[in-house]
Amino acid sequence: MKLVLAVLCLAVGASAWPQWLSDSPPDLAHRQQTVNRLLYRSTEPLRFDELEAAAANFHPDADTSLYKDDGVAVKRLLKELEDHRLLEKHHWFSLFNTRQREEALMLFDVLMNSKTWETAVNNAAYFRERVNEGEFVYALYAAVIHSSLGEGIVLPPLYEVTPHLFTNSEVIQKAYTAKMTQTPGKFRMEFTGSKKNSEQRVAYFGEDIGMNVHHVTWHLDFPFWWNDAYGYHLDRKGELFFWAHHQLTVRFDAERLSNNLDVVDELYWDRPIKEGFAPHTTYRYGGEFPTRPDNARFEDVDGIVRVRDMIIHESRIRDAIAQGYITAADGTKIDIRNSEGIDHLGDIIESSLYSPNAQYYGALHNSAHVILGRQADPHGKFNLPPSVMEHFETATRDPAFFRLHKYMDNIFKEHKDSLPPYTAGEIGFPGVHLTSVGVEGKLETYFEDFEFDLKMAVDSSESVNEVDVSATVSRLNHNDFTYKFEIKSDSEEHAVVRVFLCPRRDSNGIIFTFEEGRWHCIEMDKFWTKLSAGANVIKRKSTDSSVTVPDVPSFSTLIAEADKAVAGSSDFDFARYTRSCGIPNRMLLPKGSATGMEFALVVSVTNGESDEQHDALEDATTQSHTLCGIHGEKYPDHQPMGFPLDRRIPDERVFLSSDNNAYTIVKIYFKGEH
């Protein structure tokens, strides 16, 4: 998160660096301003004098003492540039393309190895003008997130930086027309498909641009290519991969139940892909995103991945679950019949560089994205560009994404079901009695219109004036509410309050058993609190959820507020928006129904004494740590993610007989359009 600082400095000058840059690291306002300027119209040449000068006059390898690796990374990138081996500008970029990913990471390496903000900004400006735009944006976002130089920087919303990945092509075309006719416009963006397609009922979830940003940012925070040589370990990354995607899947199921649909079925390699998908999106450079017809059958993708490889790797993973151990590359056995096993399993299923044996177990998740995405042109006959499944920004738009992740989720469940159920002693918290669980305020959801800027979706020209162009899209929101928990404690205790929301009935109206329902539970919040001896009344606002993040301000707002802050006239709270990883807070509740959809609100108060940071966690609100951890630190909760509902509960009395656990039935009402 810290690298972008260096990049921001650059916005102020290269040929004549300002005093604040040469003498000391720039303040946050200047760093934010520089990052804004580097990302502004990223497909066009730099337009800020200081950054232009840096791009023209800086020589990246002139002084290798500026780099932690003595210039190894920058020399490598410069060599590739000089040999004309890098992807040209004005071309699509996909992280799932091995060579393109390598190129983006070459720039990321340069930025991560820059010792100072000035060096990082100089490099960012220099290479922005010379490398592919998609590779530049990806490398810069990743560097801001992971470098110590980027701390405190708010990254602009990607749907305004790279709008073609988030906006229907019909709307983009209207924006171009408005620009050419000099007629400002606000254009309605509809979800893909029609009412003839039952999946249209839940398109508002997978196509929500805030949810898209959460998904891509999670994969930026926990990239599968991460190497600890960059400076730190991504704690429990494999388990977070499981939990973040499990939560996406159960949230999607809750939306389906809200719309009278069955929960999503998993994907099968030997069966047709039932749902086709027409994305209605176009690359800025490279044509339209491919369309997949209904009932397509999986075929090998020439030269990349075979269907039988997917089946073989799946069988090896299931064998590991059945045997209770993973075989590492050196032949040693890694026990997974314990709480840590899920972390190892996540590493091999994704697979990331943390996988102990990628050659044997493959990369089930990453390869699945490619093979599913390429079914429109598996043999390359039509030279189609990558599909929505080959971009983390766009993957959730395709309903088959959730079928794919239900498939992955069921493998994880197979492992979790192989573990012994928790005992009453493991679930209980002696001396702590949860006497009342309730909600203040009616649980109501609605659709509202959201407007976002499209200026960067259309090219600019000195001969054509700028006009205001934007898109409006319907999105889910809910009224704020407050949890109220009454807890009696026999003594002073450090506690963790875990809040889950579980659909009560299936699509046929049949009540789930406790064991059936617990795997469908949505984690709504998890927070630390210090209990006093005696009666405790705890109120927790929905806006404080550790699962969610607020909407990131628009790019134009970030530009204006950073400029004002540089001038000393802004009190804007940048710190509130430093993380984009997290479910949008407005989507904390599933849609529900007009008559009120029943959910079980399940709450467990557990012992937090073993959590190293419990004192700090009790005093602070740490955004979205439940799904996204804390940057550069250990995951704050020592218990398995989803505890105590992550393992089988063959007898619900074991759970409910513990005084620290309780539930109540609530209803969520959908109120239509606002």
* Closest-CA residue to 202 (of 346, 410, 398): 398
Cα separations in angstroms, 46 against 41, 125, 486, 545, 587: 8, 8, 57, 39, 37
Residues in the chain: 674
At residue 511, what are phi and psi to the nearest 5 degrees? -70, 130
Pick the catalytic residue: 118, 207, 350, 390?
Answer: 350
Answer for the pair 47, 41: CB distance below 8 angstroms, yes or no: yes
Q: Which residues contact 429 (CB under 8 A, 6 or more apart)?
A: 493, 495, 605, 606, 607, 658, 659, 660
Strands 432-440, 482-489: pairing is antiparallel
Angle at CA 398, nearest 5°, toward 280 and 524?
Answer: 125
Answer for the pair 145, 216: CB distance below 8 angstroms, yes or no: no
Return the exposure string of 205-235: e unless at least 16 CB atoms fall within 10 Å of the residue's CB, then b: bbbbbbbbbbbbbbbbbbbbbbeeebeeebb
CA 633 to CA 631: how far, in whole Å?
6
Name residue 151's amino acid. Answer: E
Answer for the pair 483, 428: CB distance below 8 angstroms, yes or no: no
Burial class (CB in 10 A: 0-12, 13-18, 19+), 537: exposed
CA 648 to CA 636: how far, in whole Å?
24
Strand partners, 474: 449
At residue 166, what are phi and psi to the nearest 5 degrees? -125, -5
- 350 is annotated as an active-site residue: yes
The residues that are catalytic are 350
